[in-house]
Structure 1
Amino acid sequence: MMRLAQLALVMASTLTIAPPSLIVAALQEQQQSMTVEQISDKITSLQNEYDNYTQTVQRLKDEAEQLEQKLASLRDRNQTLEKQRQTALQEMNNRYQQLVDDPTIDIAGAQQAYKEAVMAHQQNKKDIGTQIQLVEEKQQEVEEGRVSRHALLNEIESLKDQRKVARVERLEREFNQTGELEVSQSIVCDREETLSQCETRGKLLAKQKASKQYLDQIVSNLSEAEQARSNLEQVSPNVQILGSKTVSNGFSGQGNYGVKIAVELRGQLPRRQACQLLEVDARYCVVENADQRSATQTSANVGASNDAVMHPLTLRSNVYDDEVLIDGVSYGSTPIEIMLPRGDHRVEVRKYGYSSYSDVIRLNDAQSIRAELEKSDYSFTRGEKVQDILFRDVRGPELVVVPSGNYKMGDLTGNGLPNERPVQTVTIEAPFGISDTEVTVGKFRDFVNDTAYVTQAEKNGNCANLVNGMPKMDGTLNWRNPGFQQTENSPVVCISYEDVKAYTDWLSDKSGFDYDIPSEQQWEYASRAGTETDFWWGNDVGVNNANCRHCGSEWSNDRSAPVAQFERNPWGLFDTVGNVWEWARTEEGQVVRGGAWNFAPSLARVSTRMELPANFSSNYIGFRVVRAQ
């Protein structure tokens, strides 16, 4: 029992809770020079031992149970033997009474029976005592096994803690290493800058490239690269430039400057960030000599210039297709993440038609900026791409700007229907944006998710499908299930004119601009794109130029195609011919234009029009939208 008490005392002492800094210090002392792999091997070995202990304890418990069962059997037998002894004693007493009346009676048999009963009872009592001792000893073995197993488990968990500290220190060693990279950079000198300024800018961009490449190289070579990379964006470690030397450089006759430099770099990963990268508790990154570590890192940076340490800067904005300038240098459009030297930087985000974002930031660590650009009054430019932010990261349909102008509307070739005549000259007085594709399932889903809107087909079961060439209402069809396979990038169908109005009203509300269904004049003007033929490429539909019945595409007469599978027209619109009919508004009501995947090519001509009621929907009718400037 003394051994059991000592083991229990050891367990109690190992489970004492210590402050985080003391925990890490103790684990480091225990760990000594053990590597992560060695600790893992030891954990595996102890885990096997623990599993063996578990089996041993179970075996001991089974043996103890068998001993207890035998003890219970002996106690049951003791009662039987006691009854037998009482019976033999009674028989012997009866014989003695008979002997008084008749001295010739033999009582030796009764005496022997009684003697044997007493001896059996006494032996059984001895067996019970022995069995009790065996049960107690076996139970003690069980308890010792249990305690030993718990102590072993505690050691395993302690080693797991040690392994986490070792992982952190390994990551620090692997990250905070020095290396050299040789990079090349070419730039075009601006007209406003001197050759010296151009040279300085080229070398700075080369250092930025080296910093980014070195950071990528370090992360790729980490022992736990995949784990670290998944958390890199939340941590954003730094790279320090220790020195650089120019290998070669020069200017070309066209004002281009090229430079190749060798850069000496060192990764900088504070211990707290190591814990974040590995997704372990921060307590494994708290050390008692943190002040000393900080002083060491500070002294290592003494004499380093501001551009010796590079920090990541992340830029996002609320607009699409903007331009980012940092210290006067263009870095493309948001979102971007670049490495910049420590210190002050002028950041500008601009886009035509919006007020610019401009600020001077002081970069001392990883930093993230979201630039909010406000809309301003401006005029559309022909061919300009427009895409409005609706909310959060949800964008509206991508639009292409169509210029103002005049055109001839209607049956110009004499191949049309009576409702396409007479030909009229129409004036489009102002530029407008029109979605370059039909509105997709994904874009319509954004609307439904935000408003919980239910289409008429879903409510009334009135989406039509062509059966033997005739539209037949099918209550199972709707925009989610049009009766054929579609993707998020397929044109949304089973949408009535009234559904489209609800969608454009939502776009207007979310964007702050005036969205609508195209007028019939706008639709034909944008679809013709300056041409006067039945199709924007000519008077014959050709083969695989569009998705319509017998038009030779893989989707023809089968289902709608994902948008933008065919060439744009000269003004940048996709699928103005075929795929799905598109709603347009008229002064009298509404029509559909452009033909569909299951309609003949002659009905996909640019001037073809079909009048339909506003509440009609089918799996071959979709829509696109327009936006005023």
Structure 2
Amino acid sequence: MMRLARLAVIMASTLTFASTALAQQESDATQMSVEEISNQIATLQTEYDNFSDTVATLQREEQQLREQLQSLRERNRELEQQRQVALEEMNNRYQQLVDDPSIDIAGAQEAYKEAVMAHQQNKEDIKTQVQLVSAKSREVEEARVSKHSLLNEIETFKDQRNVARVERLQEEFNRTGDLEVSQSIVCDREETLSQCETRGKLLAKQKASKQYLDQTLADLSESELARTNLERVSPNVQILGSKTVSDGFSGQGNYGVKMGVELRGQLPQSQACTLLDIDVRYCAVKRTASNEPATDEPVDSSVMHPLTIRSNVYDDEVMIDGVSYGSTPIEVMLPGGEHEVEIIKYGYTAFNQTLNLKDAQVIRAELEKSEYSFTRGEKIQDILFRDVRGPELVVMPSGNFKMGDLTGNGMANERPATTESIARPFGITDTEITVTDFRKFVNDTAYVTEAEKNGSCAVLQNGMPKFNDSLNWRNPGFSQSETSPVVCVSLNDAQAYTQWLTQKSGFDYNLPTEAQWEYAARAGTETDFWWGNDVGFGKANCRNCGSDWSNQRTAPVGSFQRNPWGLFDTVGNVWEWTTSEQSSVVRGGAWNFAPSLARVSTRMELPADFSSNYIGFRVVRAQ
């Protein structure tokens, strides 16, 4: 429990401040303005940059200690040689003393004594130096572990800032105001005076609406950005009331009117994110303001409508709102409203469509052959022993892909982007390894995880990873089902599992390399997430991502749509262990981490013996 003690001192001012502010922000998002949140982010970013320097300093100190240890060991060899020389000289003097008792051997004795003492002192120095190196190495590991929690706080504040930006935009746009406008028109010969008057007042109201909209846009805090994206939305102005200040006809048949108009801007909530050019999930946050106008067109969700889906292939799979409905053709009854439809078949590009169901509808999908031709039988599940089967895998093809930050949204350790080659096809589990999968291993081997032995499963508390000796894969601190991803396992535990699979199946199992993981997670895409550059809402289990499990606990594997190559949960749920030439790295984000850290290229280096209730793994198998 003392492993993070020193680091806690380093991080205290940063994370205590951040977690306190975050708790306040999440309890009442309206209490902090966009500017206040931006100031918090700037402060935390400075702390993060300083902390990065601290980590680098600790690593340099560790290297210096290791160099000093090497010098002591080299010195030890020299002192041992000196001791041997002094011993040989003293033995020679003793031999001479036998023949000549008058010979003085005190000098040789003293030289040998000094050589022995110097050698013993150096050995003590080596022992002390080994302890210093070990302590500094642990300090470096703890620093690397804790650094990511601060980054999570920063990214979470960024999310809160976007929510606050939407709130501010809605408040600024949907305000009520008054305008006085003047309008003159020439009456048509075919019009009666009453018709000309009605037309003149209507044009005056239209003029007031246009002026009010222009003025509202000009007064927005993010006016320039809003104007850039204005063509992508359809804001409107509601006329609440009007009164004629003065009007009249001229002798030439002209009509003039001066009107006072009360107006209110109306920006549909779903369009606020478009106007700000941010992910639509920020506009799915439930508003609490009692006076906010309901501008979105209502859909009666109690009415059921038939939906028929057909495709040009057989043996496909239809997913509606993340739920499988089997193969086409199908006809289902769905409530009115928005639904996500996806049709998948290995070897074909997935068909995706968002529809707003208001009446009976038919979808005729045309699936096209994908670049990589998968065929039936490319799902693998090895028999381990008796009727016990290993985890199910999906074959990934060989090929080249771009790896790293391809969109400019990444961090320094994701750059530069490179072109990587996957020389051979490989199988990878379509889900994270589950509690059931891991239990088969433990029951067969009586394996004890590092967290169970050392009480070292970490949880995030007030933004800091804290070790809890009562938590392990059987009890991670929240409820799990047998189909939930196993957590509180270190990289060493995960590798023990792969070695067991290899032994039992006769095939070569391993943890995925970083390249294999990102290749499979990208599934041929070059965006931050396999479906695009925005995480969306309700598409994954990450902090404030709109799922039933977000920021609460892990979700059962396969709770969300799989990517075009057949993998579930490559975004969020739990970080997944991977290996690289330099270190152990986790990928993919987690249920309690900001969505910006669940991008396909995000990577975090962690010690191999670290375990937490937000890290799991999946495995690969060579063909």
Q: TM-score range by the shorter chain?
A: 0.3 to 0.5
Normalised to the residue count of structure 2, the TM-score between the two structures is: 0.43
Normalised to the residue count of structure 1, the TM-score between the two structures is: 0.42
Q: Which has the larger radius of gyration?
A: 1
The one of the two structures with greater contact order (alpha-carbon pairs below 8 A, sep at least 6) is: 2
